[in-house]
Amino acid sequence: MGSNRHQAAMKAEEVHKQSIQRSLEHRLQVARARGDEQLIRQLEAEMACYS
């Protein structure tokens, strides 16, 4: 049973990480479209933390 909990926790962590990455990618697209260089740099740095 402990193994199932561990696997579920690992899966939840991976799904959460993927969700954050998708959100960051979308925000980066919007920042690029707007030409917001400061936000682009900030989001790229944040994405590096999740890769």
For 43, the token pair is: 């989001």
Domain residue limits, the chain = 19-51
* pLDDT value, residue 29: 98
Output Rg (C-alpha) for the chain, integer angstroms: 15
Query: Could you read off the pLDDT of 1-51 as tens digits, one per residue?
Result: 578 999 999 999 999 999 999 999 999 999 999 999 999 999 999 999 877
**What are the C-alpha distances in Å from 48 to residues 6, 13, 24, 42?**
26, 17, 11, 10
The answer to whether 28 touches 47, Cβ cutoff 8 Å, is yes
Question: What pLDDT does 1 receive?
Answer: 57
Q: Among candidates 12, 11, 13, which has minimal Cα distance to 50?
A: 13
* The pLDDT value given to residue 12: 94
- What pLDDT, on a 0 to 100 scale, did the predictor assign at position 51? 75
